[in-house]
Structures are given as C-alpha cells and as structure tokens.
C-alpha cells in the first residue's frame, strides 16, 4: 500500500482537520462532535440541510457544506456509516427553528441511522423530513428503484436543496422541489481498478488488467457486467443508451450532466468521455445546457468514471445555477 498518510487509524481525523484548516472561511468542526462538519458561519432563519456518510469519497459528503449547499455533515469512518449520535449532532447544528431536511444516500446503515436520529430530535421538537437518493441505475431495475444506491447524483440534490433553502422557503416547499429533482436524476458508472482502504491495506476487489466492470458501486459492490476494456466511444455509447432508456429523457428535453472521476481517472480522459457524450446528446436533439467535469464523488484512488444526468425545468435550473460557496463546485 502506497498512500500519503501517517497512521491509518488517524486517516479520517487528519483529513477532516486538513479540510477545515485549508478552508476556514467555509468549514468548521462542530463543538459537540469532531465527526460533524458545519458551516464556518451558521445560517439563520432557514431550513437546515443535512447529510452524512462514510469517508473516502471526497468531495462527497463533507465537501459540500457551504452557503447554497449543506449546513452540516456527519462523517463516518472510511466506507462506513456515521453513528446515530453523529447524525443527531449534525441535525441539531443545522436547526434554525424552521426544520431540517436530511438527504441520505441509499445505503442500509445510513438510512437506518438517520431514521433513528430523526426520531430522537423530533422528540425534542425539531421537525425533520428525509429524502433518500437512489440514482444508480445499475443496482436495481426501474421497477425496484427504491433499492438503488445513491451515488454522484446526490450532489445535484445537495445543490438544489441548498439553493431552495437559501430563499427561506418552508420545509415542505424545500422537500417538494428537492424530491422533484431527486426523481429526475440517473447515474451509471464504470470501474477500471480498485481502491485500497487505509486500515485494510489491500484492494477492495480484484479485476483483470484488461477488464472493466459496468455499474460497480463506489464501495466495490457488484455491477451489471464485467467485460474487456473497449474504446472510449463504445463505452460511452453503452452507458449513454442505458441512462437515456432508464430516465426517459427524450428529444427537446433540457438536461445538465456530470462526468465524474471515481478518483484516479484524469481530466483528459473525462473530456474524451464528455466529447462523445455531447455528440450523442446532439444527435438525439437533447438540450444539454451544462456539463460538470471533474472529481465530485470519489472512491479513494479507484480508476473509472460515472455519468449523471438530471432532467431540468425552469424552476430546477434556477436553483441548480444559483450562487453558492463551495471549494468543490463552480457555477
């Protein structure tokens, strides 16, 4: 294992500390829990927006705390859910008396712990609502989409929820529009190589040097199929067709797209993907108004990428492109 770390056991705390010290105008560590990140300056008179999840995915989850995005984030160990206590702290630190929306990636531990945390804070008078992000089309069929995992699409959900909340909309209003956005998002990825967890010291899975796996999860969960590596255009065409067929995006629809590195895949390769993807949308007469290219939701040093598409209307576009303050997001 070759990693730029000190002791593996200190990996999460040191990375959190480094994040906060690098961007002290954006982030702070909660006073009551060192595994909760808050905004450096707490917002007021708005609905709180909260998430939480395991480490090893930066910028997800912690990186998207900031104005126009999240208010707080609970942080688990690498690829592990935060505890109920950490989630309770995140919710309380985000609460301004107007309720809190919890945005949860669809993983068993995250969902279960947030449900318990919400019950606990509601007993103390804090109103909550939950949105479960399940955008990974590889992990279940359309008929069973509630079983799908939450991956890079959650960033669009964070952004839109955060922007609505900044308008001082009610909890019900934030929930309604964010739910609409959540239902319009589809993601599919492909893995080329595994990652290594610091405390494990070995790859999360094995794959041949000439193989790829379409639909593999960000923790190494099985995908749709494993096959030989093929030219970029053929690979993009395959992913494009699957996303379009599942999302029902069609001619004259307006969309935004995210091309996300899983960690090790360089920008040059992502732009090759973007080129082909743009050509496909143009041929289909789909109006792609924005492409985000970069590292948005990673899996340590895993090589590969994901494509996320969100179908937009005027209202969702307004919130997606609203101003925000986040080191990992450009308008």
Q: What is the DSSP letter of 118?
A: H
- Are 56 and 33 a contacting pair, CB within 8 Å? no
219 carries an active-site annotation? yes
Q: Rounded to the nearest 5°, which phi and psi values hold at 91?
A: -65, -45
The 3-class secondary structure across 232-277, one letter per residue, is: HHHHHHHHHHHHHHHHCCCCCCEEEEEEEECCCCCHHHHHHHHHHH
Rounded-to-integer distance, Cα 189 and Cα 55, Å:
20
Q: What is the DSSP letter of 298?
A: -
Rounded-to-integer distance, Cα 316 and Cα 48, Å:
19
57 carries an active-site annotation? yes
Start-to-end C-alpha separation, the chain: 37
Exactly one of 46, 67, 149, 219 is catalytic; name it.
219
- Are 228 and 211 a contacting pair, CB within 8 Å? yes
Exactly one of 57, 67, 149, 295 is catalytic; name it.
57
Q: What is the DSSP letter of 145?
A: G
Radius of gyration of the chain (CA): 19
Q: In Å, what is the CA distance from 158 to each residue of 13, 72, 177, 196, 206?
A: 24, 11, 12, 27, 32
Task: Give the contacts of 55 (CB within 8 A, at least 6 positions apart).
Answer: 11, 12, 15, 62, 75, 76, 77, 78, 79, 80
Which residues participate in catalysis according to the annotation?
57, 219
């Amino acid at each position: 294992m070759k990693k730029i770390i000190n002791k593996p056991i200190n990996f999460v705390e040191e990375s959190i500390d480094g994040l906060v010290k690098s961007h002290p105008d954006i982030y702070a560590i909660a006073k009551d829990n060192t595994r909760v990140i808050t905004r450096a300056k707490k917002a007021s008179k708005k609905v709180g927006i909260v998430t939480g999840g395991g480490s090893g995915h930066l910028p997800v989850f912690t990186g998207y705390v900031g104005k126009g995005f999240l208010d707080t984030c609970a942080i688990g160990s690498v690829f592990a859910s935060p505890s109920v206590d950490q989630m309770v702290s995140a919710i309380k630190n985000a609460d301004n008396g107007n309720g809190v929306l919890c945005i949860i990636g669809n993983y068993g531990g995250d969902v279960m712990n947030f449900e318990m945390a919400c019950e606990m804070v509601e007993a103390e008078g804090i109103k909550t609502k939950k949105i479960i992000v399940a955008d990974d089309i590889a992990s279940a069929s359309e008929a069973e989409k509630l079983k799908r995992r939450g991956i890079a699409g959650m960033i669009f959900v964070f952004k839109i929820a955060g922007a609505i909340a900044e308008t001082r909309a009610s909890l019900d209003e934030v929930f309604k529009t964010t739910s609409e956005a959540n239902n319009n998002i589809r993601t599919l990825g492909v893995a080329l190589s595994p990652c290594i967890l610091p405390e494990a010291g070995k790859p999360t899975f094995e794959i041949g040097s000439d193989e790829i796996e379409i639909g593999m999860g960000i923790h190494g969960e099985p995908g749709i199929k494993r096959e030989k590596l093929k030219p970029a255009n053929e690979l993009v065409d395959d992913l494009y067709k699957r996303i379009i067929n599942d999302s029902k995006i069609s001619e004259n629809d307006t969309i935004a797209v995210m091309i996300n590195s899983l960690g090790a895949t360089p920008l040059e390769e992502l732009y090759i993907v973007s080129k082909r993807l743009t050509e496909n949308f143009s041929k289909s007469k789909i109006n792609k108004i924005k492409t985000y290219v970069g590292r948005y939701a990673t899996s340590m040093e895993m090589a590969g990428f994901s494509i996320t598409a969100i179908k937009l209307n005027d209202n969702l576009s307004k919130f997606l492109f609203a101003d925000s303050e986040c080191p990992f997001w450009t308008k």
